[in-house]
Amino acid sequence: MNDILLLKQGEIVLKGLNRRIFEQRLMGNLRRRLARIGRFKVYSAQSTIYVEPEEDGADMDAAFEAAQKIFGFVKINRAAACEKDKDAIVALADRYLGEELAAAKSFKVETKRSDKSFPMTSIQLSQYVGGELSDRYPQVPVDVHDPDLTIHIEIRDLAAYVHASPVKGAGGMPVGSNGTAVTLLSGGIDSPVSSWMIARRGVRLIPVHFFSFPYTSQQAKEKVVELGRILAEYCGKMTLEVVPFTHIQEEIRDKCPEEYFTLVMRRFMMRIARRIALDNGAGAIVTGENLGQVASQTMEAMAATQAVLDLPVLQPLVGMDKEEIVSLARKIGTFDTSILPYEDCCTVFTPKHPRTRPKPEEVEAAESALDVEALVEEALQGIERIVVRDEQEL
Ligand code: ATP
Ligand code: MG
């Protein structure tokens, strides 16, 4: 059977003249992902992208799964194709969806006809196919208002297609169409979600993790690598930058007043992230901060943290409730890894009474005993780069 995927583009359809470029990028992202699964032909026609297997045994289940994680598609149909003939369409609908139809409580047929030269109107074809299928499955009533199963027919330029209801795509815009950002990736629940949300807006990500070995363990790093791998299923291949953070944290512990530990540490994270951004042409820094969640996430603390930056900080979770963040983490598949119980550097040397409403000049005074420039330089020199890719990519 001629099994194919029909992928419907989302927002990029609205982009006027840029549309071709967006579409090329989207197809490139899709092709790269599918290349790891098998040989597929990917082409576009009439705002739809088609995926057809080009070899026997190309794994359409895997392709269908992978397509659901590519930003830029709103709907994904797994369909079968046939010639544009009403009886061929009936035969195909029966073969392809007969089992589902036999199990359905009711059904209807819905036709979309973008090839206007087809001799029947959409309504006529729906009625014809519906009637033929009713004869073959008399126990399943037609219900045009609230059917259990909808059989979709599309009459397009190249062929006729039959499919059941589409599944939702990942939405958003193709990765790479909206610039690059550095994303701060801890092992927690929040930052994989904030990374995913910004990637979904078409942003290519450079994940950065601050690692305080031996205060944080090797497993903590592996957990972040695993989170990066899960994100790569959506974003494509990325390079995770693991920044050695131990010396900075020890210096802070030894030379700064305790109530400012977290704030000073966060300013170092920002300075290092900024340098990585500038070195890689990235235009923003992404964090999983959430207003009021912890002492370092008050407005004053965020202001003191961001005072060392000249880049925007994108905080897509800032106004969300924890419950919403958790449900998104579950949906994208990062939650179970995030809750593995390994320490993050943020929980090393945490002050008993952190400052929640710091004044910028107080924080500056608190870090005045440190050689900030030298510490940042040293951390940058020690970066370990780990390529993370989707499991399917070898
Ligand atoms: P998360 O669940 O993402 O760890 P959180 O609610 O625990 O977030 P914090 O620990 O205060 O919040 O960290 C705020 C943000 O700072 C994180 O969302 C993340 O973007 C960044 N961050 C924290 N720790 C690290 C780290 N070790 N490496 C990289 N980024 C980090
Ligand atoms: Mg954390």
The token pair that represents 292 in the structure block: 């009021």
- Asked if 2-168 and 180-388 have one fold, the answer is no
DSSP codes, 297-351: GSHHHHHHHHTT-SS-EE-TTTT--HHHHHHHHHHHT-HHHHTS----GGGTT--
pLDDT classification of 354: cutoffs 50, 70, 90: confident
Ligand 1 centroid, distance to 209 Cα (angstroms): 9
**Cβ of residue 293 lying under 6 Å from some atom of ligand 1:** yes
Ligand 1 centroid, distance to 17 Cα (angstroms): 39
The pLDDT tens digits of the residues spanning 254-287 come to 999 999 999 999 999 999 999 999 999 999 999 9
CATH node for 2-168: 3.30.2130.30
* Domain extent listing, the chain: 2-168, 180-388
> Residue 392: is its pLDDT beyond 60?
no
pLDDT classification of 46: cutoffs 50, 70, 90: confident
pTM over 0.85: yes
> Residue 394: is its pLDDT beyond 50?
no
> Residue 40: is its pLDDT beyond 60?
yes
CA distance 69 to 53: 19
Task: Please name which ligand lies nearest the alpha carbon of 288.
Answer: 1
Nearest residue (by CA) to ligand 1, atom 31, is 186
Nearest residue (by CA) to ligand 1, atom 22, is 186
pLDDT average, residue stretch 16-42: 89
The pLDDT tens digits of the residues spanning 172-221 come to 999 999 999 999 999 999 999 999 999 999 999 999 999 999 989 999 99
Q: Which CATH class is domain 180-388?
A: alpha beta
Lowest-pLDDT range, 14-18, 91-95, 99-103? 14-18
> Residue 295: is its pLDDT beyond 80?
no
The token pair that represents 115 in the structure block: 């090839």
> Residue 393: is its pLDDT beyond 50?
no
**Cβ of residue 287 lying under 6 Å from some atom of ligand 1:** yes
Identify whether the C-beta of residue 78 lies closer than 8 Å to the C-beta of residue 3: yes
DSSP codes, 213-280: TTTS-HHHHHHHHHHHHHHHHHH-SEEEEEEE-HHHHHHHHHHS-GGGHHHHHHHHHHHHHHHHHHHT
- pLDDT for the residue 15: 61
* Radius of gyration, alpha carbons of the chain: 26
Polymer length of the chain: 394
Q: How many CA atoms lie within 13 A of 112 on its CB side?
A: 11
- pLDDT for the residue 20: 83
Local structure of 376: helix, strand or coil: helix
Tokens 């780069």, located at residue: 385
Which ranges constitute the DSSP H helices of 68-217?
86-103, 122-136, 190-200
The pLDDT tens digits of the residues spanning 305-340 come to 999 999 999 999 999 999 999 999 999 999 999 999
Nearest residue (by CA) to ligand 1, atom 8, is 190
Atom of ligand 1 nearest to the CA of 183: 20
Ligand 1, pocket-test mutation among 182, 183, 184, 211, most atoms within 8 A of CB: 184
Lowest-pLDDT range, 31-35, 85-89, 383-387? 31-35
- pLDDT for the residue 13: 57
pLDDT classification of 12: cutoffs 50, 70, 90: low
**Cβ of residue 209 lying under 6 Å from some atom of ligand 1:** yes
